[in-house]
Each structure stands twice: as structure tokens, then as C-alpha cells.
């Protein structure tokens, strides 16, 4: 006898559909006492037999296909390193099991003590873009009502915040793809900026095939990534700009569209505002000047603009952006420039063309809609809006005065850890900030300065290893709920197997703690009950889920928000109007704030102690996901990509006496990293690339800067100045890093 459950992959926002089948005779789950030490690529612990078989399921996004991560996802359910009971860190630094009663008692006492001594905002919450909609919603409610704090944000601030701010600015609404992904199949031209979908979400590539076959796939990336290489045989284009110059490139494309008469004048007149100011703002970005700024030949710029305009006239041009152009201090302006270009061509809201941005995390879309962000309430409402506050107070049954105001965005929240006026007690749900946050050494030091750190996880991640108390929580195949994919489509997560004894859902944890803290309002451990409240909370908001329920999702009905009660949802946004009061989209003039050749402060005088600095960009590998806390524990994935490697151009390597496979040191004023060199002509000579999935001395985010976009709070992940030299990081440098994080 077998049981099966139709669900979706736990990793990226493509949310590939899969079926999980459970044999009658199952390998026992890990029992209390299993060794929960963090795995590394060199020491992977894995159960011999997976509890569930995974098969791809036909669905519009993946059409039965899965990537390597999806195929191996079930192997983590009974992994020997899984945490299956609460773990309390002793004075000797060792985590030992405690009962749930004891764990909840300790947390309650820590919260009450912190609030009494420092105030409610000394308690903080850091959430995650992988949490279900139900958990994300209740986490925001828990922070504001049970803890009484404004200090909540989440790791989606590192992912989607600039694109979201740009979408709100231009359209009055932020939904990653305002059209179904399958619409791309009929495109003749697709411009993709800063996204390597061939490695980050491989099943996506099939939706690019039509444009590729038509010779219309255009990829912008400083590296010849797997996605950029996909343009080769079909006559597409790869534009390879200097890192940090994407905004200038987009202004140059807009200049060509305007001055060659390629803009859609009728669309601009009928559906937009601010065109004249935009024309003036791009006047100085003629192609030859942009070539000097970006390194992209003027002829390629003109060719790109003309192809996009031709595709738009024939009804099939799309512009897509990703983190590569958004994770900058001018990321919001860069995403805005991409939207401006799309509006000039008449793409947003048209029948067979469009603009969109690619959500990365599994529930990156839903996770930012319902209350995890520092400045938002459920339904994508602004926390400073009196009407929104009144609505939520009525739903929660509390006085409006009990709902705190806006908090701190993620980077500022992490900078406040342990500070006299900052967070002293922190909850972390679904995030591994010790690896994923910028300036990771400083973040680790902040975690260690806390008076009490609680981490909910299913492995002893690098962040959980720093915790005073680790709470074991359910994995994806052990829980019910919903997620919202990159198209804004709400999906059902279904339970296929019971969790190990001792493991609890975060909904259960929040409910018990809310009771212990005498929180106002009600909390529930039942996902459907929480979703029913989310529906009412979101009603009338931009992200309205009020017409969606579990029954319709279980019937397989497509549910794209906004989905007001009584409607049929909105697969394609902006067909009739945009979300601003006058129904028009807004052109917003933007200008680069800095030149890519201007180095950060630590190398502002030019050459540093090891010669001329290089520009570091970071990104993903096909086999790994986010901080690697899960995928580094999958034997097949860890074997395929066991370590970080620095991609460097052969000419740059030769100048430093570096050969393929040599250990190199990559350093700047924030830290030092050591890994092997991988020589490749796929990267620009002045640029190096490092994946961000690895911890400790391979951790790319030891080098990234905690500078942020002033509008979105997005960190500067894609532009760090570093020195690269032959040889592993020095023993002294290692010791200094340890001291700095202690």
C-alpha cells in the first residue's frame, strides 16, 4: 500500500509541482539523540533511504520537470543531522536536549525580562521567504501583538525589495510576474537582466525556447552564465556590462527607443504619466557614451532596442529582471529604469508582451504580502496608513494603538543586535543570516552579543549553532499550508508524512508562546484556520486573497491574486488600468548615483595593499540553494559542488601568478575568504565571481558590504571591491576573523 500527496518543491519560487509517494515500510525517522551537527561538503550525513519518492507533476511552470534540488529534496526528511527536539546551549557552548515545556518557559521568561528592562522593541523577529503564507501572516501578528515589537523584517529584504519598490512606484502594485509564466512561450523577444535561470531554476528555461528559436533571447550579465550561453545557437545576444552599470545601460536603451522613434506613442499617451520628464532624463545617455560607461558596444545597444521594439510591434516582447541588477545601492532605480523602458515600448498590460521580475525564494512573493516586512500589514497594506491599521485592529480584535508602527529593514535590524538601543532578544524563523546576510562577520558578532537568541530550524545551521535555544520545526512535506509562486499564483502545500516525534510546527510554537505571554487576540496552530483569518485580513488590500480557500485550491483551480471574493482572480494584471488612483503607470526619471569605477571607502585611494582591487559579484550554483543549509547536506548535491570556487579570468589570474585549482585569498576591509581558483573566459577580466552558499572561510558574504538602497533597504551584494592573491588566507587573518565575530 502506498500513500501519495500532490505538492510543490520546497526550494525556489518556480514552485515546481511534484507528487510524493510514501511506501508502507519506511525507514524510521531520526530519534532524539541523533547528532545534529552542521554538515559540510566534506562531511555529509544522510539517511540511507529517503522516506518519500519524488516524481515531477505536470504543471504550467515545470511541465513535469524538476531540477537536481527538487529530485533530491525528500532525502532531507530523515537526515541524521536533523534536529528533532529543543536544544539548549550550555555554558560550555554545547547544545543539549530539553523538554518543550522547559523551552517555552525559557523563551517566555527571556521575552518578559527583555521587555521589562529595555522595552518591547528590544525583542526582534527575523523571518524568511520560505515560510508558508500562514506562518508568515501569523509571525507578523505574533511579533506585533504577542511580543509588542515593531522590530520585524525578513530575508526577502535581501531578494525582492528593490523590484517591489520599483513596481509600487511605477504601477502602484508589486507582483513579480503580472502574467502567467507560460505567456513567455509565444514571445519573439525576451530581454533578461541579471538572472541566470538556467542554473537557479532550470525548468524555467523551456519558457525561453520560443524566443531563443526566433533569435530574440537577449541576456545581460557580466558573466557568460549558463543562461547567457543559451543565446548562442539561436542568434540571440549577450550584453556583458561592467558590474554596477546596469542602470546606465538601461538609460541608453531608453535613449535609443525615444530618439529612433521606436516608442509606442499611443500607449504612452493613453496609459502613462511623466513622459516628458523621462525624455529629458535620458538625453545624455546616447549609445557611445553608454558604451564608455558600461563596456557594451554601442551597436549592441541599438540592436537590442530595435529587437525589443520589433517584438513589441509583433506582440511578443518581454523584459525580465533579477537580483543581478537589483542587489545594489541603486537597485530600485535600476529596476525602475527597466520598467521605464518597458513602458516606452508599451509592454506592461498588453495582450502578448510584458514586464516582470523573477522572485527567488519559494514564498518570496507571499512572504512579503502579509506582514513580515517592517513597514507592512497583511494584504500589502502600509503600516502607517490609518485605514489599514483600523482594518487590522478590527480583524485582530484589538485597539489600533496596540499595533506598533514601522520597524527597521533587515540590514538595519541586524546592525542593531546587541546595541544599547537595539535588539537584545531575537527570534529567527526560516533564515540563516550568519551566511546569507551582508558583512557576515559583523552579523555573527551581533548574534553573539545578544542576551537570548531563539532559532526555529530543522538543522543546526550556522545561525542555529549560535542560538541559545534551537526549536525543531516541521519540514515542507510534513505540513499543510499555501505558498504564492513567482506568478502571484497561490498554491497548496500538502502533508505527505508525519513529522518525527518532538518536532512542532511554527504555528504551534507561536500559539503556545502567545498564550504564555497573555497576548491579545487569538492564535491558531491549524493552517486552514490561519488562512481563513488571512483571507479576511487581506480583503480590500492590494494583495487581496479573500476569494481563495483551501477547497478551491484542492480542486486544482488557478488562483492568482488579487482575488477578491466573488471574482475569478487576476492572472494578467494591468489589462485595463494600473493600480494608481488615475489608472496610469508612472515614468520616474532616474540617474546613476555613482560610477562603477569609483571603489568603496576601503580602497578609495586606488591600489590597496595587494595591488589594484577587483570587483566581486556573488550568485548561485545549480546544485545549491540560498545559504546551502539544506543542499550542502544532500550527498549528491554536495558531491557535485563540494566547495566554493572563485571564477576568475585567465589574464587576471596570470597577473597574480594563479593557476587553475590553486588556493587563493580574496579579501577587503571586512574580511578574508579562501577557496580554489577556477579560470574561465566567461567572466570579465576585472571581475571575479563567488557563490554564496558556503560557510566559514568560504563565505562570500564575509566580503559584501552592508550598504543599502535608500528606498528599498536592499544590500549591495553585487558590487564589492576585493583583492585577490595566490595562497590560502593567512592563519593570522583567520584568527582576526574569529576574534571579530566573538
Instruction: Give dist(CA 484, CA 492) in Å, integer.
Output: 9
The verdict on residue 45 lying in a domain is: no
Q: Is residue 429 located within the same domain as residue 330?
A: no
Spatial distance between the Cα atoms of 568 and 439, rounded to a whole number of angstroms? 45
DSSP state of 522: -
pLDDT (0 to 100) of residue 276: 98
Do 444 and 495 sit in the same domain of this protein? yes
- Please give the grid coordinates belonging to residue 33: 539523540
Task: Judge contact between 242 and 596, C-beta under 8 A.
Answer: yes
Chain-centre distance for alpha carbon 438: 13
Domain of 693, CATH number, reads: 2.40.40.20
Q: Which residues touch 645 (CB under 8 Å, ≥6 apart)?
A: 675, 676, 677, 678, 690, 691
pLDDT under 50: residue ranges of the chain = 1, 24-48, 595-606, 731-733, 735-742
SS (H, E, C) 469-520: EEEEECCHHHCCEEEECCCCEEEEECCCCCCCCCCECHHHHHHHHHHHCCCC
In a domain, 528, yes or no: yes
The CATH number linked to 139 is 3.40.50.740
Domain that holds residue 722: 609-740
Question: Are 653 and 510 members of one domain?
Answer: no
Domain-terminating residue out of 538, 567, 590:
538
Q: Is residue 721 part of a domain?
A: yes
Q: Are residues 176 and 128 in the same domain?
A: no
Domain-embedded: residue 373: no
Count of C-beta atoms within a 10 Å radius of residue 115 = 19
Q: How far is CA 595 from the centre of its chain?
A: 26
294 and 327, same domain (yes or no): yes
Q: What is the pLDDT of residue 593?
A: 77
Residue 357: name the closest of 216, 491, 168, 225 by CA. Answer: 168
* pLDDT score, position 42: 35
Verify that 204 and 150 share a domain, yes or no: no
pLDDT at 621: 94
Closest by Cα among 364, 352, 287 to 322: 364
* Residue 357, Cβ density class (10 Å: 0-12 exposed, 13-18 middle, ≥19 buried): buried
Q: Are residues 265 and 347 in the same domain?
A: yes
Q: Is residue 369 part of a domain?
A: no
Position 730 scores a pLDDT of 53
Work out the widest C-alpha separation in the chain, in whole angstroms: 71
Task: Tell me if 17 is assigned to some domain.
Answer: no
CA 154 to chain centre: 10
Instruction: Record the pTM.
Output: 0.93
Strand partners, 127: 154
Is there a single domain that holds both residue 200 and residue 125? no
Whether residue 175 sits in one domain with residue 128: no
SS (H, E, C) 290-312: HHHHHCCCHHHHHHHHHHHHHHH
What CATH number is given to the structural domain containing 258?
3.40.228.10
- Report the distance separating Cα 98 and Cα 93, nearest Å: 15
Residue 239 and residue 227: Cα distance in Å, rounded?
Answer: 12
Q: Are residues 131 and 166 in the same domain?
A: no
- Whether residue 556 lies inside any domain: the answer is no
User: What is residue 740's predicted lDDT score, i.e. its pLDDT?
Assistant: 46
Give the residue from 476, 511, 538 where a domain finishes.
538
**Cell numbers 507582483: residue:** 175
**306 plus 201 within the same structural domain:** yes
Count of domains in the chain?
3
Phi, then psi, of 734 in degrees rounded to 5: -60, -45
Domain end position, chosen among 538, 556, 585: 538
Same domain, 181 and 315: yes
Residue 718 placed within a domain = yes
Amino acid at each position: 500500500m502506498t500513500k501519495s500527496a500532490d505538492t510543490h518543491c520546497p526550494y525556489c519560487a518556480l514552485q515546481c509541482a511534484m507528487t510524493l509517494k510514501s511506501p508502507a515500510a519506511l525507514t524510521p525517522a531520526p530519534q532524539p539523540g541523533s547528532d545534529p551537527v552542521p554538515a559540510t561538503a566534506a562531511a555529509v550525513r544522510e539517511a540511507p533511504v529517503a522516506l518519500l519518492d519524488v516524481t515531477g507533476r505536470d504543471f504550467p511552470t515545470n511541465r513535469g520537470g524538476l531540477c537536481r534540488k527538487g529530485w533530491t529534496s525528500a532525502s532531507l526528511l530523515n537526515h541524521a543531522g536533523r534536529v528533532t527536539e529543543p536544544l539548549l546551549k550550555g555554558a560550555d557552548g554545547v547544545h543539549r536536549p530539553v523538554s518543550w515545556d522547559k523551552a517555552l518557559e525559557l523563551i517566555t521568561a527571556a521575552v518578559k525580562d527583555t521587555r521589562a528592562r529595555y522595552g518591547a522593541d528590544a525583542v526582534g523577529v527575523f523571518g524568511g521567504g520560505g515560510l508558508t503564507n500562514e506562518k508568515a501572516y501569523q509571525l507578523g501578528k505574533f511579533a506585533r501583538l504577542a511580543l509588542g515589537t515593531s522590530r520585524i523584517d525578513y530575508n526577502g529584504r535581501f531578494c525582492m525589495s528593490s523590484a517591489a519598490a520599483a513596481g509600487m512606484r511605477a504601477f502602484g502594485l508589486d507582483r513579480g510576474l503580472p502574467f502567467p509564466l507560460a505567456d513567455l512561450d509565444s514571445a519573439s523577444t525576451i530581454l533578461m537582466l541579471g538572472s541566470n535561470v538556467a542554473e537557479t531554476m532550470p525548468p524555467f528555461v523551456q519558457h525561453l525556447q520560443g524566443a531563443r528559436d526566433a533569435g530574440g533571447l537577449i541576456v545581460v550579465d557580466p558573466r557568460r552564465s549558463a543562461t547567457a550561453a543559451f543565446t548562442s545557437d539561436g542568434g540571440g545576444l549577450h550584453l556583458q556590462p561592467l558590474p554596477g552599470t546596469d542602470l546606465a545601460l538601461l538609460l541608453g536603451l531608453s535613449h535609443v527607443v525615444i530618439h529612433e522613434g521606436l516608442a509606442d506613442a499611443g500607449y504612452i499617451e493613453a496609459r502613462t504619466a511623466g513622459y516628458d520628464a523621462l525624455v529629458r532624463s535620458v538625453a545624455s545617455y546616447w549609445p557611445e557614451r553608454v558604451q564608455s560607461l558600461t563596456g557594451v558596444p554601442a551597436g549592441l545597444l541599438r540592436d537590442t532596442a530595435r529587437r525589443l521594439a520589433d517584438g513589441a510591434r509583433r506582440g511578443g516582447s518581454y523584459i525580465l529582471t533579477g537580483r543581478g541588477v537589483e542587489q545594489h545601492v541603486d537597485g530600485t532605480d535600476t529596476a525602475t529604469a527597466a520598467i521605464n523602458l518597458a513602458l516606452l515600448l508599451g509592454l506592461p498590460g498588453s495582450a502578448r508582451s510584458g514586464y516582470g521580475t523573477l522572485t527567488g525564494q519559494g514564498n518570496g512573493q507571499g512572504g512579503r504580502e502579509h506582514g513580515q516586512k517592517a513597514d507592512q500589514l497583511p494584504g500589502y497594506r502600509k503600516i502607517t496608513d490609518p485605514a489599514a491599521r483600523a482594518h487590522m485592529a478590527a480583524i485582530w480584535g484589538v485597539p489600533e494603538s496596540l499595533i506598533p508602527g514601522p520597524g527597521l529593514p533587515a540590514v538595519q535590524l541586524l546592525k542593531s543586535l546587541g546595541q544599547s538601543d537595539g535588539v537584545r532578544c531575537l527570534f529567527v524563523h526560516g533564515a540563516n543570516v550568519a551566511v546569507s546576510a551582508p558583512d557576515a562577520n559583523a552579523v555573527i558578532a551581533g548574534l553573539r552579543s545578544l542576551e537570548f537568541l531563539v532559532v526555529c530550524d530543522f538543522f543546526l545551521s550556522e545561525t542555529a549553532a549560535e542560538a541559545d535555544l534551537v526549536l525543531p520545526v516541521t519540514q515542507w512535506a510534513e505540513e499543510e499550508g499555501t505558498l504564492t509562486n513567482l506568478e502571484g499564483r497561490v498554491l497548496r502545500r500538502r502533508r505527505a508524512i508525519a513529522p518525527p516525534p518532538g518536532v512542532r510546527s511554527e504555528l504551534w510554537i507561536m500559539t503556545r508562546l502567545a498564550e504564555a505571554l497573555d497576548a491579545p487576540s487569538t492564535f491558531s496552530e491549524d493552517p486552514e484556520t490561519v488562512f481563513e483569518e488571512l483571507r479576511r485580513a487581506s480583503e480590500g488590500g492590494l494583495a487581496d486573497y479573500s476569494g481563495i480557500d483551501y477547497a478551491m485550491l484542492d480542486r486544482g483551480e488557478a488562483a492568482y491574486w488579487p482575488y477578491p471574493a466573488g471574482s475569478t482572480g487576476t492572472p494578467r494584471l494591468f489589462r485595463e488600468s494600473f493600480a494608481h488612483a488615475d489608472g496610469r503607470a508612472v515614468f520616474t526619471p532616474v540617474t546613476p548615483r555613482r560610477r562603477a569605477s569609483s571603489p568603496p571607502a576601503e580602497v578609495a585611494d586606488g591600489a590597496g595593499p595587494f595591488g589594484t582591487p577587483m570587483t566581486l559579484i556573488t550568485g548561485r550554483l545549480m546544485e545549491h540553494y540560498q545559504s546551502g543549509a539544506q543542499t550542502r547536506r544532500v550527498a549528491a548535491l554536495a558531491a557535485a559542488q563540494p566547495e566554493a570556487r572563485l571564477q576568475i579570468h585567465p589574464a587576471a589570474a596570470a597577473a597574480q601568478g594563479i593557476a587553475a585549482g590553486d588556493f587563493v585569498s580574496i579579501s577587503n576591509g571586512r574580511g578574508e575568504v579562501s577557496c580554489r581558483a577556477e579560470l574561465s573566459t566567461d567572466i570579465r577580466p576585472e571581475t571575479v565571481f563567488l557563490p554564496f552558499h558556503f560557510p566559514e572561510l568560504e563565505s562570500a558574504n564575509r566580503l559584501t558590504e552592508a550598504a543599502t538602497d535608500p528606498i528599498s533597504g536592499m544590500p549591495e551584494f553585487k558590487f564589492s571591491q576585493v583583492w585577490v592573491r595566490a595562497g590560502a588566507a593567512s592563519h593570522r587573518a583567520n584568527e582576526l576573523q574569529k576574534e571579530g565575530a566573538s
